Copies of this chain bind each other. A is one copy, B any other.
Amino acid sequence: MARVFNFNAGPAALPLAALERAQKELLDLGGTGMSVMEHSHRGKAYEAVHNEAISLTRELLAVPENYDILLLQGGASQQFAVIPMNLLPQGKSADYILTGSWSQKAYKEAKTIGTARVAGTTEKDKKFARIPKQSELELDANAAYAHITSNNTIFGSQWHEFPNVGSVPLVADMSSDIMWRPIDVSKFGLIYAGAQKNLGPSGVVLVIVRKDLVAAGRQDIPVIFQYRTHSENNSLYNTPPTFGVYVLRNVLDEFKKLGGLAAVEKINREKAKLLYDAIDERSDVFSAPVERESRSTMNVVWTVKTPELEAEFISEVQKKGMVGLKGHRSVGGLRASIYNAVPVEAVKALADAVRGFKK
């Protein structure tokens, strides 16, 4: 079968060139006579891949030298626990801004470890259809850190301007929009992202963390969960998910070839505009519930006038080779995840289907 137009929310589409490279080398990495999966993580061949994944991350995001770049396991869900284990000592409190399911999960997990408080949120009964304004936040100036989820995969909203949290370290779960555009990393204390939406396959989580936070991290937790362990060992303290890191490297290399994150952003903005414009144009049938200034460029969420029309639309686009468009089970409706690796032609095809539906 031909490759489909993949709008999955994660794991999600990967750049075809990155996959083709993996396929070509699968039995023999660079003339070594072994698959990358069969190489020792302490050997030169894998080490080169590992270090390239890290250096490409540093280059693409212009990560300052006072930040560590760690490649870990367990996904963002594990970081929900590991972040407070490291950064939330007894006697301190952490701020959480709730804008959807994932930030709620992060907040709940933090409460199993220490004191966490809600520093802002928007209307849950309106499906978090907007990002809070700076003036709505009630920040604790003494917080150990302030946590946000930069993009809400399920509800389809996104922080387009990050909150000002003063001197408190800003911690951001960027799983679903990491590297969608250039950002100023120096505004953050810690950035984390499961790779499986915008960067690569599942099983790798990227953590970018300020070195002073690593150094000040708690030492009374298991060694494996201390950021310093992985920082001191270049993420090779224990065996990393070598194939996942390898595919991540391939994906980052494609972003670089495109011209870096400025070029990636241009394409992403074009894709988002194509689709939102089509939905807005067909307001007789479709409706995007998220407030305009909070709309996600990564996960376009919209609804259809009737369940019958929704089923008809899904069936129609499926016939055109588009998959992964059903909204999250907790929200319903439709969702198109148009991450970095989703090509413009896929979004064009979908926008055309929206525009032409029942005409």
Interface residues of A (CB under 8 A from B): 1-4, 6, 8-14, 16, 19-20, 22-23, 26-28, 31-35, 37-41, 43, 73-78, 80-81, 85, 108-109, 112-113, 194, 196, 201-204, 220-225, 237-244, 247, 321, 323-324
Contact = CB atoms under 8 A, between A and B. Distances in A.
A3 B28 contact: yes
Contact of A35 (B14, B194, B321): B14
- Among A6, A26, A40, A220, max chain B CB count under 10 A is at A40
A75 B32 contact: no
A78 B8 CA distance: 30
A239 to B, nearest CB: 4
Contacts of A8: 38-40, 43
Given A78-B74, A112-B220, A3 B247 contact: no
A8 B46 CA distance: 13
B2 A202 contact: no
Given A11-B41, A37-B201, A203-B242, A224 B3 contact: no
Contact of A73 (B9, B20, B78, B196): B78
Contact of A32 (B4, B224, B244): B4
Contacts of A34: 3-4, 6, 13, 323
Contact of A26 (B22, B28, B76, B113): B22
Contacts of A238: 74-78
Given A11-B239, A201-B242, A243-B244, 16 more contacts: A1-B33, A4-B33, A12-B38, A13-B34, A19-B37, A33-B323, A40-B324, A73-B74, A73-B203, A76-B238, A78-B224, A85-B222, A112-B221, A194-B239, A202-B240, A202-B243
Contact of A241 (B33, B203, B222): B203
A288 B1 CA distance: 54
Copies in the complex: 2
Contacts of A31: 1
A224 B109 contact: yes
A23 B32 CA distance: 17
A38 B201 CA distance: 7
Which of A2, A43, A74, A204 is packed against the most chain B CB atoms within 10 Å?
A74
Closest CB pairs A-B (n = 4): A203-B241, A81-B222, A4-B33, A77-B238
B112 A239 contact: no
A328 to B, nearest CB: 10
Contacts of A14: 35, 37-38
Nearest to A5: B33
Contacts of A202: 37, 41, 239-243
A80 B237 CA distance: 14
Contacts of A78: 73-74, 224, 238
A322 to B, nearest CB: 11
A77 B33 contact: no
A243 to B, nearest CB: 5
A326 B243 CA distance: 23
Given A19-B26, A27-B23, A243-B201, A38 B222 contact: no
A19 B1 contact: no
A28 to B, nearest CB: 6
Contacts of A201: 37, 241-243
